[in-house]
Amino acid sequence: MCAAAEVTAGVARGVARTALLVAAARAIETHRPDALARDPFAEHFVRAAPVSAGWPVRPEQVPAGEADPLWGRLGRYFGLRTRVLDDHLLHRADRGVRQVVLLGAGLDCRAFRLCWPPGCTVYEVDTAGVLAFKQAVLDRTGAVPAAGRRILAADLRLDWSEALLGAGFDAAAPTAWLAEGLLLYLPADAERRLMTTIGRLSAAGSSLAYEIKGIAESPRVRASPVYTAARRRLGIDLLALFDSRARPDSAGALAERGWSVAVHTPYDFTARHGRGPRPEPDDALAANRWIFAAAPE
């Protein structure tokens, strides 16, 4: 197998396949007339990997539309999440932050698709296989980043701080940290280490946005169409990938260190934007919480 084929095959294994799921959802969202977020690169990733080459990348390719539990409901959730976190990062940049770290960057292209102020540097941290696949696809599209971009292969369950510092990260400057869809998969000890590292590397004025499952899900919720569709149609068992053991109270720990913390449900932002997923019985999205924390100035 050639090197390019090995990279493509590698991204389809384990948690990395969920990055393709999110990319497909972003591609579909991009082509909606009322798109919450646009990512013109997303469909290129989906088509480049054999495991996802047949997945939909446009709304008209989803016959049931938003009623489809996978590409409709869950897909719209990812579109909303993308928009909210885009807005958060750009707000921090507008306030003078010039250093952004995407932990578990996946196949998102914020360094390319957002309008960054001059002087911004975006660090993308993920596994070597995901980053190599991502770069190979971006190279084929001729993509040019809109900010300084530095990619860093690291296992976020282990110590990654020295590698980040070695890549030029300045711990004395405020940072906008983002862990989009990451903590759901990390063991509790790894989450604690991650939060400790972020706290140690965060200068005054830094921020952190991340996602968790805020409450345990009942058996009825775990049998919801969102989970069963992902497993049966894509071969992605999200419930098996989530770390189901007791989670640390990371938001509480940040508050104890003097950070201001705001906890939201996705539906807070559905109401704000007038579109996005809405609550339903036995809801697989009801336990999700989006947390925004800011270090003291």
SS3 call for 278: coil
pLDDT of residue 3: 45
| Multiple choice CATH, 3-294, 3.30.160.60, 3.40.50.150, 3.40.1160.10, 3.40.309.10 | 3.40.50.150
In the block, tokens 């069963």 appear at 228
pLDDT digits (tens, 9 = 90+) for 58-75: 999 999 998 999 999 999
Q: What is the pLDDT of residue 154?
A: 95
pLDDT at 14: 42
Per-residue model confidence as pLDDT tens digits over 87-108: 999 999 999 999 999 999 999 9
| pTM reported for the whole predicted model | 0.94
Q: Which residue has the tokens 């989670």?
A: 247
By the 8 A CB rule, do 41 and 81 touch? no
Helix extents (H) in 167-249? 188-201, 219-222, 225-234, 238-241
Going by C-beta distance under 8 Å and a sequence separation of 6 or more, which residues neighbour residue 146? 111, 112, 113, 114, 115, 116
Model confidence at 257: pLDDT above 50: yes
Residue bearing tokens 């924390």? 293
- For residues 113 and 146, the answer to whether their CB atoms sit within 8 Å is yes
Q: What are the strands, taking DSSP E only, across the chain?
A: 99-103, 121-126, 148-153, 176-179, 207-213, 260-264, 288-294
- pLDDT higher than threshold 70 for residue 9: no
The closest alpha carbon to 135, from 291, 236, 250, 7, belongs to: 7
Token digits of residue 16:
């990395």
Q: What b/e string do you get for 235-244 counting C-beta neighbours within 10 Å, with b at 16 or more?
A: ebebbeebee
pLDDT band at 247 (very low <50, low <70, confident <90, very high): confident
pLDDT tens-digit map of 184-194: 999 999 999 99
What distance in Å separates the CA atoms of residue 77 and residue 124, rounded to the nearest whole number?
Answer: 23
Model pLDDT for residues 233-244, shown as the tens digit of each residue: 999 999 999 887
Q: What is each CA distance from 187 to 3, 4, 131, 192, 210, in whole angstroms?
A: 31, 31, 22, 9, 15
Residue 11 has pLDDT above 90, yes or no: no
Does the structure show a pLDDT above 50 at 15? no
User: What pLDDT is stored for residue 12 in this prediction?
Assistant: 43
Mean pLDDT of 253-280: 96
As a whole number, mean pLDDT of residues 210-239 equals 93
% of the chain with per-residue pLDDT over 70:
95
- Boundaries of every domain in the chain: 3-294
Strands 121-126 and 260-264, by their bridges, are unpaired
Q: How many residues does the chain have?
A: 297
β-partners of residue 290 are 211, 264
CA angle 107, 110, 114 (to 5 degrees): 150
**How far is CA 227 from its chain centroid?**
18
CA distance 169 to 159: 15
Q: What is the mean pLDDT of residues 259-282?
A: 96
